[in-house]
Each structure stands twice: as structure tokens, then as C-alpha cells.
Amino acid sequence: MSRALHLDSNPLRPDFWVDIFANDHPVAIEIGPGFGEFLEFIATRQPDWNFFAVEHLSSRTRVIQRRIDAGNITNARALCAQAECVLAVLPDACVDRFHIQFPDPWWKRRHHRRRLMTASLVAQLRRTLRPGATIEFITDVEEYFRLAFALLEADPGLSHIGIPELPTTTSFSRKAEARGWQVFASTHRKNAGS
């Protein structure tokens, strides 16, 4: 069984990933991994990468941890936390890829302030990315995609480079497919010198 992870409120050392994974492989962070289907899928297919999942619901984090333990997946970790809090303590330029898939759209206008994608979050994502590293964003809500895409495009340190491969391994992607909903996706890369 994996040991519990703790991130204190002080900025972390630049080499802190080595303490967590015991290697210096590139690190991908999945924000809002749901039940961990994509995390399990990608971690088992890319053993030369480390995968770090940040999930705000403790019940889902426990499901993800059980999935990691049952599969003996040594290159994945899960942390129950708010993404904004985790990003705030990460050092600059320490992440090689972010995955954000099917975040809660918070449909009601009065709840829009709870949406994950904001200008400040995008700035933190860019700050923590290494030059040339990427943010993959996927949703089945067109209005939310347009908002997120505009925020990513507005950051001068990021450039749109295309569409990521769409997952077919998560409950959220299967629900979208079953409903016949279109899936919207984009990949943005951190520019050199940003």
C-alpha cells in the first residue's frame, strides 16, 4: 500500500518529486481525476512517466488509491486537496504535463465562481510548467470549453498546439458518448522563456 502524501504550506524544493517517486522521470498532474480510470490507463502505458492526481473529494481519492494499490502502479500517486492549494506550493517549472478532463461545469450561473478554470489558475498552471510542457483540457460542455480556451489563449506564455487524443476510458467520456454529446479538447504548450 502506498504511503500517505503530505504537502506543507511552504514552497517545495525543486527536486521534491524525487522524494515522492524515487526517480527523476517527467511528471504529469491530473486535476480532478474522478475515479482514476484515466490515471490507471495512462500510468500503466507510460511507465517512464510519473503521474500525480489531485482530487478534492476524499471518497474519490480513496477509490483512486485503491485502484493504484490493486494494480501495483508504482508511478502514480493520489492526493486529496484543492488544486489551487497544491499549485500554490509547487516550485516554478516542475511539471511536464497537466491533464484536465471533464471538470464540473457548475451549470447554474450563481455557481460559475466555483469553476476550476480561471485566469489565476491558468497563470499557476503556466508558472509550474517546464518550457515546452503542455496543458490538455477536455470537456463535453461547449460553453465551458469556450471559456477555458479563451483563458488559455489570453495567457501570453501559452500557445495552442492542437487537440489531444480523446480518452475513451473514463466514466465521464463514456457518458458523453452515450448521450451523443460532442467532446471539445485543446492542448496548449508553455512557450520558451515564459
Active-site positions? Answer: 104
Farthest CA pair distance, the chain: 45
Q: ∠ CA(26), CA(30), CA(34), 5° rounding?
A: 150
Are 100 and 136 a contacting pair, CB within 8 Å? yes
Residues 6 or more apart whose CB falls under 8 angstroms from that of 26 comprise 48, 49, 50, 96, 97
> If you count them, how many residues does the chain have?
194
For residue 80, what is its C-alpha cell? 486529496
Mutual angle of helices 119-128 and 142-154, in 10-degree steps: 60
Please tell me whether residue 158 adopts helix, strand or coil conformation: strand
